[in-house]
Amino acid sequence: MVTLVIVLLALWLILAVVGVVFKGLLWLAAVAAILFVATAAIGWVRRKAVDR
């Protein structure tokens, strides 16, 4: 599960960079940023649940 979260975080980060580099794709950067935060939050919550 941790590997999946890390892969998703890397994917969202790459998409955000591509969105910023190509100015026509700023919407891609916004979506990637939202998905990055959501994936990080879900991974953090699940990790905390497993630690208990």
- Check whether 1 has a pLDDT greater than 80: no
How open is the CA angle 36-38-43, to the nearest 5 degrees? Answer: 95
Measured from the Cβ of residue 32, the count of other Cβ atoms closer than 10 Å reads 21
Predicted pLDDT at 52: 65
**In this predicted model, which residue has the larger pLDDT, 52 or 3?**
3
Residue 33 is encoded by which pair of tokens? 């940023």
What confidence tens digit (pLDDT) does each residue in 2-47 have? Answer: 788 888 889 888 888 887 887 777 888 888 889 889 988 988 888 8
